[in-house]
Amino acid sequence: MIELYGSSMSSSGRTRWMLEEVGLPYEYKRIDARNGQTKSEEYLRIFPGGKVPALRDGDLVLGESMAINFYLAEKYKPELVPSNLVERAQAYQWSFWAITNLQPDLVTVMVDGMRPPGQQKPEAVASAKARLQPLLAFLEHSLVGRQYLLGNRFTVADVNAASVVNLARQTGLLATLPNAGAWMERLAARPAYQRASKD
């Protein structure tokens, strides 16, 4: 059986979502990253990279949630990965755009919102939101007349990008973006998403 090593409030969530989408039985092994468990000798024997998530599938141990998601989709539900070269490149584009451009500033906004009064950093949040505005506008424009990122077909790109855009939804940054908001609501209604989000 596949084993997923992960922790709450980490990129493990997008991999759990993908596991639910492909319909595989798996064992979710919680790792307490905040208390240093990812650096323990026991965990480093499993995944020397010392991060979560990590996936074990037979002899394969793989890290990095985006790579894991592409692996799971290609191996177990290939219809989630476009066979057309151009569409596959677009799936990579959306996945890498989300994690490299969008995620760092969204994390800044989200983490600051959890800080107690007096410890918040309004200038850092204002800068992050200014950088996020054109990125989210690009997403909004790209979803005009589309149900999903690559048209009217759900793909691995939707899982990868939406797992990041969900932070924008949680922090209220999609309030004025109806296309992006509707896309996120559509994805959040998927049974696989709901199963992965239970705990």
Report pLDDT digits (tens) over 70-125: 999 999 999 999 999 999 999 999 999 999 999 999 999 888 666 667 666 778 88
* Domain harbouring 50, CATH code: 3.40.30.10
Judge if 116 and 130 occupy the same domain. yes
Q: Token pair of 133, please? A: 């505005």
144 falls within a domain: yes
pLDDT at position 113 is 63
What's the DSSP call for residue 146?
-
Q: Name beta bridge partners: 29.
A: 5
> For residues 113 and 106, is the Cβ–Cβ distance under 8 A?
no
Q: Token pair of 43, please? A: 């965990």
Q: What is the pTM of this model?
A: 0.93
46 falls within a domain: yes
* Domain harbouring 88, CATH code: 1.20.1050.10
Judge if 57 and 89 occupy the same domain. no
**Strands of 16-140, DSSP E:** 26-30, 54-57, 60-63
Judge if 64 and 152 occupy the same domain. no
199 falls within a domain: no
- Among 58, 79, 100, identify where a domain stops: 79
Q: Does position 172 have pLDDT exceeding 90, yes or no?
A: yes
pLDDT at position 124 is 84
pLDDT, tens digit, 9 for 90 and up, residues 3-54: 999 988 789 999 999 999 999 999 999 998 888 899 999 999 999 999 999 9
- Torsional sign, CA 99, 95, 150, 89: positive
61 falls within a domain: yes
The residue to which tokens 């979560």 are assigned: 52
> For residues 95 and 154, is the Cβ–Cβ distance under 8 A?
no
Q: Count of domains in the chain? A: 2
Judge if 94 and 122 occupy the same domain. yes
- Among 60, 79, 98, identify where a domain stops: 79
The residues, any chain, with a CB within 8 Å of residue 22's CB and separated by 6 or more, are 72, 73, 76, 77, 80
Q: Does position 149 have pLDDT exceeding 80, yes or no?
A: yes
Judge if 178 and 89 occupy the same domain. yes
pLDDT at position 121 is 75
Integer Cα distance of 32 and 5 in angstroms: 10
CA count, 13 A, side-chain hemisphere, 8: 4
Integer Cα distance of 150 and 137 in angstroms: 17
91 falls within a domain: yes
103 falls within a domain: yes
The residues, any chain, with a CB within 8 Å of residue 38's CB and separated by 6 or more, are 31, 50, 51, 52
The boundaries of the domain holding residue 63 are: 2-79
pLDDT at position 114 is 60
Judge if 115 and 56 occupy the same domain. no
Judge if 92 and 60 occupy the same domain. no
Three-class secondary structure of residue 28 per DSSP: strand
Judge if 106 and 182 occupy the same domain. yes
Q: Does position 60 have pLDDT exceeding 70, yes or no?
A: yes
